[in-house]
Amino acid sequence: MTAVQNEIERRGSRIFELVDKHPQPLFSKAGLYQRLMALSMRDEQFKVQLFRFVDVLPSLRHPREIIGHLNEYFSDDGFGPFVGTGIRLARIVPWVSGPILRWNVSGMAHQFIAGKNSDDVIKTLRKRRSQKIGFTVDLLGEAVVSEADADEYAARYLDLLEKLARETKNWTDPLGKNSELFPVVNLSVKISALYSQINPADPADAIAHLAPKLRPLLRRAREVGAFINFDMESYAHKNTTLELFKTIFREEEFKNWPHAGIVIQAYLRDSEADLRDLIEWGRKRGTRFAVRLVKGAYWDYETTKSLQNGWDCPVYFQKPESDANFETLTRLLLENESIVTAAFGSHNIRSIAHAQAFADELGLDPSRFEFQLLYGMAGPIKRALVEMGYRVREYCPVGELLPGMAYLVRRLLENTSNEGFLRAKFAENVSAKELLRDPTELIKPAVAGIGDPGGSASADGKNSTSLDIASADVYRNSPLVNFAYKDSQEKMQGALREVRKRFGEKYPLVIGGEKVWTDQLTPSVNPSAPDEIVGYGSEAGIPEAERAVKAAREAFGKWSRTPFEERAHLLERAADIMERRRYELSAVEVFEVGKPWNEADGDIREAIDFCRFYAQQMRRLGRPKLTQRVPGEDSYHHYWPRGVTFVIAPWNFPIAILCGMASAGVVTGNTVIMKPSEQSIVCGAMLMQVFEEAGVPSGVLNFLSGHGSVIGAHLVDHKDVDLIAFTGSREVGLKIWESAGITRPGQRELKRVICEMGGKNAMIVDSDADVGEAVGYSIYSAFGFQGQKCSALSRLILLQDNYDRVMERLIPAAASLRVGNPEEPGIMVGPVIDEAAYRRILDYIEVGKSEATLAYQAKDLPRQGYFIPPTIFTDVKPNMRIAREEIFGPVLSVLKVRDLDEALEVANGSDYALTGDRRIFLAESGQHRARQSPTGSGKRLHQSLVHRRDCRAPSFWRIQNEWQRHQSRW
């Protein structure tokens, strides 16, 4: 054992001694809370339901709603394991009634909140002052979905600063030493609260918006001698926050101000590099700054998010890894004490003792750094540290009940986490010796599946016993590009430059493996700048269409008998090529159809997934399935290729949908003629290149750009076309369906049509919805990619109970959107596809104005290009045209309804069924209401259909998963 470990143990034991001298419960309030925590630690299922209930409670206004939710969350339907334990809510709260329960749970929340406003908090701070404990104050608040929200936040910070400065004017440093390093007033600022449009792909824009909002606060802080700390939240904003910090504090005005701090999260794999970079920056700057070292409070969020998107996980999987890194960073901070002031944010006595011991070894005075702990928790540790003569600061959240509940849930998670220090010490009485062990000794060797949260998602089938989970068939999407990395941003910029150089190139038809040029060329333009021609497509006529059918028919014989394994491989090779050409293909989409970066990347990802998913499915379908067995006879179900497939694709997912339909045809042993949309010929040509490179045999996949009215109609009616796969408008789809019904002379098969037509998607916001989430998703769904998706939100259905609450945040959120040329990063709303669409959508806006109330319309659009202002109509009735017809643009109709039943009726009252609005399902059985959301095979759900916290809704799984894997480490 090293000398340092000896010293750590000595100091740690001393802290434990002091802690144990004043026995005190883990939480300052006993009763219900203690009981619930104890149950939660014993029963994961109960914990999940309890925390979900706590989360929804603030949204419930009527006692009957509270009771209804209790029944729903704790009923036995769907929670067999929970019931099996014999735990009943009645046993916990036998005196349950709505208001009392609410009051109790609110009490729980207040335990962790230092006050609901600045006046309130002052009382708390005074009390702490008497205990020689300092403070840093944080503002709780709802999600910032608009610039109005952000401005309000900024104003609240300024107000808080003023009040704190005024009230603490005469307070002195508790240690009376090195007090110049530690101003009494200390404000923790959540950067994400100050700008609603932060996009990880565009840090420059974020900084440009954040800096002007921060400067007045910083100036005033300097004036009143306060300290400002930049808090750190999710990884997506980390680089932007660091950049912002380094940028603003090198500005002339703040360059020599020492009272600025930032947070380093030890659970991040790149935290050491970040800290070294910061220290170097600080030395260059020449002025002290501060760092609060924490473990990190978003572990579940980060692991879940990275698994969802297929990203490298930014956090350590094992808790001891974070603990060990915390110590590494502690040493780094203390070694650089000459430029950086350290605050150690942890409740872990080992971590605290380590910092003390190492500081001691360096000969640092204890008054030159501090420990920070959370309000409402770990009181005995704070007291012990004060007794030992250390500097202690309490992190005090201030705010209302609603945002307070979300904070409460984070604290509850922490306190019940399997790996949390407080649980180990105060609930499980783990020995001091064990708790003081060197974390590096506890790190397990990296073994696949151990400590890897990826394993848990599929392994945990607890709540799915009643569902048919064939895990072998489960498909995992390929990763999205993470534009939070500078490297990704640069690659995309590079691809955009490269693709721009190719503007004006010509692309041939491909028939029977040959490139075919025709006299007629169709230009494809950039909708953001219609004078830019992205490329020219060859225009096929009847002779080329005939030639393509012949080629496809000839290739069918051999291809249909090619082993399915070989066909599946072809798709997988195509997927690999698209992976390699990913940025380039995305760039083409940005230019040709005006897709924002991440939407374009999502489209390529979907194309890749179609290939891999269909390959996987083909392996399943390709093997004959035994359906019956009697002696002497086995009956098998086989699938057989149909023949020649004609694929007609739209421009809105120009590579994904074309690829999906074509690759499905090809992998199943059919031969395919694919016609891209006239607006996205270059994307189509790219896909053809991909399949050629992948080695598709001649005639198996043919590329035929041209006019739908000419070659489309001809091929639909063709006697040698056996199957038609179409995605597009209802009008065209119905015509195809009808025409394909006619069996023509010489036709050998009944024609089959796979038809995906229009949508008029609805979202219902129930009365218990999280309004911030609902608004965020609504805005993204309605206006992302200009609403040009079959799955775009077109009808927002609000319960009257909720109407005002939602609308007062929805309009400002829409008004905060960044509209512009999607070639720029971080743009959410670009141009619509072409002039015809532009005129059609403007016409619909006129219709809307005559039918309903124009509640919002954006101004200040780019002057060039087919830009439509995001538009919101209210007072919309179900029979109005804007509520019935597909607009396919950034126009949202808001319908107000009485209750959920009417909401479902309105949602269902549409001619359109795509992405599920016709499929809302309501089953009333006993007191349990379940709504099931539709899913598409191999496709991710674009939006939550009924936005309501519900036992069966997708969000359930998200939440449950986060919670079950939780490892909190403040």
Q: Decide: is 633 part of the binding site for its own copies (CB under 8 A).
A: yes
Separation CA 249–CA 289 (nearest Å): 9
Q: Decide: is 911 part of the binding site for its own copies (CB under 8 A).
A: yes
Under 8 Å CB-to-CB from 55, ≥6 apart: which residues?
Answer: 405, 406, 409, 770, 949, 959
Q: Decide: is 632 part of the binding site for its own copies (CB under 8 A).
A: yes
Q: Are 21 and 375 in contact (CB under 8 A)?
A: no
Query: From the list 6, 458, 709, 850, which residue makes contact with its own copies (rule: CB under 8 A)?
Result: 458
Q: Which is nearer to its own copies, 512 or 954 (CB)?
A: 954
Residue 625: CB minimum distance to its own copies, A = 5
Binding segment for its own copies among 172-180, 418-426, 518-526, 624-632 (CB under 8 A)?
Answer: 624-632
Residue 466's CB is within 10 A of a number of other CB atoms, namely: 8
Separation CA 656–CA 684 (nearest Å): 10
Q: Decide: is 1 part of the binding site for its own copies (CB under 8 A).
A: no
Tokens of 825: 């990063």
Q: Which is nearer to its own copies, 729 or 955 (CB)?
A: 955
Q: Decide: is 561 part of the binding site for its own copies (CB under 8 A).
A: yes
Matching residue, tokens 């960073």: 329
Q: Which is nearer to its own copies, 307 or 700 (CB)?
A: 307
Residue 924: CB minimum distance to its own copies, A = 9
Separation CA 293–CA 275 (nearest Å): 10
Q: Identify the three-state secondary structure at position 888.
A: coil
Binding segment for its own copies among 671-679, 703-711, 730-738, 839-847 (CB under 8 A)?
Answer: 730-738
Q: Are 567 and 555 in contact (CB under 8 A)?
A: no
* Cα dist from 621 to 572, 611, 643, 786, 947, whole Å: 17, 15, 17, 38, 35
Q: Which is nearer to its own copies, 214 or 736 (CB)?
A: 736
Residue 737: CB minimum distance to its own copies, A = 6
683 is catalytic: no
Q: Decide: is 468 part of the binding site for its own copies (CB under 8 A).
A: yes
Query: From the list 476, 502, 849, 928, which residue makes contact with its own copies (rule: CB under 8 A)?
Result: 476
Separation CA 535–CA 684 (nearest Å): 11
Subset of residues 488 to 547 that bind its own copies, contact rule: CB under 8 A: none
Q: Decide: is 4 part of the binding site for its own copies (CB under 8 A).
A: no
Q: Decide: is 954 part of the binding site for its own copies (CB under 8 A).
A: yes
Binding segment for its own copies among 148-156, 359-367, 377-385, 735-743 (CB under 8 A)?
Answer: 735-743
Query: From the list 44, 544, 950, 962, which residue makes contact with its own copies (rule: CB under 8 A)?
Result: 962
Subset of residues 305 to 334 that bind its own copies, contact rule: CB under 8 A: 305, 307-308
Residue 475: CB minimum distance to its own copies, A = 5
Strands 928-931 and 922-925 come out as antiparallel
Q: Which is nearer to its own copies, 461 or 543 (CB)?
A: 461
Burial of 347 (0-12, 13-18, 19+ CB in 10 A): buried
Separation CA 816–CA 190 (nearest Å): 19
Query: From the list 61, 502, 919, 928, which residue makes contact with its own copies (rule: CB under 8 A)?
Result: 919
Q: Are 422 and 412 in contact (CB under 8 A)?
A: no
Separation CA 668–CA 618 (nearest Å): 7
Q: How does DSSP classify residue 924?
A: E
Q: Decide: is 624 part of the binding site for its own copies (CB under 8 A).
A: yes
Separation CA 740–CA 756 (nearest Å): 15
Q: Decide: is 941 part of the binding site for its own copies (CB under 8 A).
A: yes
Q: Decide: is 35 part of the binding site for its own copies (CB under 8 A).
A: no
Query: From the list 364, 401, 402, 457, which residue makes contact with its own copies (rule: CB under 8 A)?
Result: 457
Binding segment for its own copies among 61-69, 284-292, 666-674, 933-941 (CB under 8 A)?
Answer: 933-941
Q: Which is nearer to its own copies, 423 or 751 (CB)?
A: 751
Q: Decide: is 752 part of the binding site for its own copies (CB under 8 A).
A: no
Q: Decide: is 932 part of the binding site for its own copies (CB under 8 A).
A: yes
Q: Are 493 and 582 in contact (CB under 8 A)?
A: no
Q: Decide: is 743 part of the binding site for its own copies (CB under 8 A).
A: yes
Q: Are 343 and 231 in contact (CB under 8 A)?
A: no
Tokens of 56: 């929804």
Separation CA 280–CA 453 (nearest Å): 34
Query: From the list 557, 628, 863, 926, which residue makes contact with its own copies (rule: CB under 8 A)?
Result: 628
Q: Which of 584, 790, 886, 951 is catalytic?
A: 790
Name the amino acid, one letter, at 85: T
Q: Decide: is 558 part of the binding site for its own copies (CB under 8 A).
A: no
Q: Which of 142, 233, 756, 886 is catalytic?
A: 756
Q: Decide: is 465 part of the binding site for its own copies (CB under 8 A).
A: no
Q: Which is nearer to its own copies, 41 or 457 (CB)?
A: 457
Separation CA 707–CA 86 (nearest Å): 67
Residue 158: CB minimum distance to its own copies, A = 36
Q: How does DSSP classify residue 824?
A: S
Instruction: Classify the phi-psi angles of 31: left when phi > 0, otherwise alpha if psi is within -120 to 50, otherwise beta.
Output: left
Q: Identify the three-state secondary structure at position 715.
A: helix
Helices (H), 729-793: 730-740, 771-783
Subset of residues 141 to 160 that bind its own copies, contact rule: CB under 8 A: none
Query: From the list 13, 418, 477, 488, which residue makes contact with its own copies (rule: CB under 8 A)?
Result: 477
Q: Decide: is 754 part of the binding site for its own copies (CB under 8 A).
A: no
Interface with its own copies: number of residues (CB under 8 A): 70
Binding segment for its own copies among 116-124, 481-489, 501-509, 927-935 (CB under 8 A)?
Answer: 927-935
Q: How does DSSP classify residue 367?
A: G
Q: Decide: is 630 part of the binding site for its own copies (CB under 8 A).
A: yes
Q: Decide: is 3 part of the binding site for its own copies (CB under 8 A).
A: no
Burial of 486 (0-12, 13-18, 19+ CB in 10 A): exposed
Nearest to 967 by CA among 272, 416, 266: 416
Q: Are 623 and 648 in contact (CB under 8 A)?
A: no
Tokens of 885: 């017809």
Residue 796: CB minimum distance to its own copies, A = 22
Query: From the list 2, 531, 748, 879, which residue makes contact with its own copies (rule: CB under 8 A)?
Result: 748
In sequence order, the β-bridge partners of residue 645 are: 672, 723
* Cα dist from 460 to 348, 417, 453, 465, whole Å: 30, 18, 11, 10
Residue 103: CB minimum distance to its own copies, A = 32
Query: From the list 3, 447, 448, 470, which residue makes contact with its own copies (rule: CB under 8 A)?
Result: 470
Q: Which is nearer to its own copies, 477 or 493 (CB)?
A: 477
Q: Decide: is 631 part of the binding site for its own copies (CB under 8 A).
A: yes
Q: Decide: is 482 part of the binding site for its own copies (CB under 8 A).
A: no
Subset of residues 639 to 698 that bind its own copies, contact rule: CB under 8 A: 640
Q: Decide: is 859 part of the binding site for its own copies (CB under 8 A).
A: no
Residue 403's CB is within 10 A of a number of other CB atoms, namely: 19
Q: Decide: is 623 part of the binding site for its own copies (CB under 8 A).
A: yes
Backbone angles phi, psi at 964, to 5 degrees: -65, -25
Matching residue, tokens 């698994």: 307
756 is catalytic: yes
Separation CA 613–CA 883 (nearest Å): 35
Q: Decide: is 303 part of the binding site for its own copies (CB under 8 A).
A: yes
DSSP secondary structure of 177-228: SSGGGS-S-EEEEEGGGG-TT--TT-HHHHHHHHHHHHHHHHHHHHHHT-EE
Binding segment for its own copies among 286-294, 346-354, 461-469, 721-729 (CB under 8 A)?
Answer: 461-469
Residue 561: CB minimum distance to its own copies, A = 6
Positions touching its own copies (CB under 8 A) are 303-305, 307-308, 453, 457-458, 464, 466-471, 473-477, 561, 620, 623-638, 640, 734, 737-743, 748, 750, 755, 911, 919, 921, 923, 932, 934-941, 954-955, 957-958, 961-962, 965
Active site residues: 756, 790
